[in-house]
Amino acid sequence: MTKISFPPFLSSYSKDSFYLKQHLQEYLHLDSKTLDLKLETGQKQLAELGHKDFDWEKAAAFYRDKVGELYLFELGAWHLGSSDYIGETLLLIADHAQGRVLDFGGGIGTHTIGAALCPEVEQVVYCDINSISRDFVRYRVEQMGLSHKIIVCEEIPPTETFDTILSFDVLEHLPDPSQQLLHFHEILKPEGKIILNWYFYKGANQEFPFHMDDPEVVNTFFKTIQSKFIEVFQPYFITTRCYRKWS
């Protein structure tokens, strides 16, 4: 595989995904061996929790109150193990992100940090309902010297609009992802861009019990995105897509 060539402002991504492992170890006060074990078992433990406690009628509460630190380990393992994929996602962000950026459901903050480092970006609003994720991202942002450029919040600020909207690995966790698309359409500026991905699949062994896969919901999602947005070509071999407003 060809090694990804990053522009200078994203070169720090090559340092363990913006020092992610170091940040996890320091923030959680873990030794290296313990962190490696938690990263290795995070996805399995989160799936077990999902099979036990997940309910679509209480989906928001599950991510806000139930997942705890497990989500840091599950997402941390994914980001560290998929660095090339996420690296190309960051290149796509760098190609299009500008002005005020919303990172909806920003997780462990890697995409937020990448967007904030882009020279055309003025400010990034990181939004996530999980308080542990928010606190961890505040720590990462401070360590990266980006506190002046990133706002961390629980909900999308009301009445605000954005030049760029990011949302990765989030839509499949929502009971009605089409409604979220419509809200994105409302708050995206006329010439803005939205960069998304999704995974409407529970996995071959039901390892993602908290992913939406209802055919009717998924069909409505694709009808909605096709009616409101038009895809912008991107040259990277990733599932992430970039759109501008169609109507």
Ordered structural domains, the chain, with CATH: 84-245 (3.40.50.150)
Around Cβ 62, how many Cβ atoms within 10 Å?
19
b/e 77-109 (16+ beta carbons within 10 angstroms → b)? bbbbeebebbbbbbbbbbbbbbbbbbbbbbbbb
Let me know: does 223 contact 177? Beta carbons within 8 Å: no
Contact between 121 and 142 under an 8 Å Cβ cutoff? The reply is: no
Enclosing H/E stretch for 80: helix 70-81
What is the predicted pLDDT for the residue at 121? 98
Say yes or no to pLDDT of 241 above 80: yes
Average pLDDT value for residue range 204-212: 91
Average pLDDT over residues 103-116: 98
Interval 167-174 mean pLDDT: 96
Q: What percent of the chain has a predicted confidence (pLDDT) above 90?
A: 81
CA distances from 173 to 17, 66, 130, 134, 229 (A): 24, 14, 13, 18, 21
pLDDT band at 1 (very low <50, low <70, confident <90, very high): very low
pLDDT reported for residue 247? 66
Residue pLDDT, tens place only, 69-102? 888 999 999 999 999 999 999 999 999 999 999 9
* 33-76 residue pLDDT tens: 999 999 999 888 887 887 888 888 887 888 888 888 888 999 99
Q: Is the dihedral of CA 165, 168, 172, 175 positive or negative?
A: negative
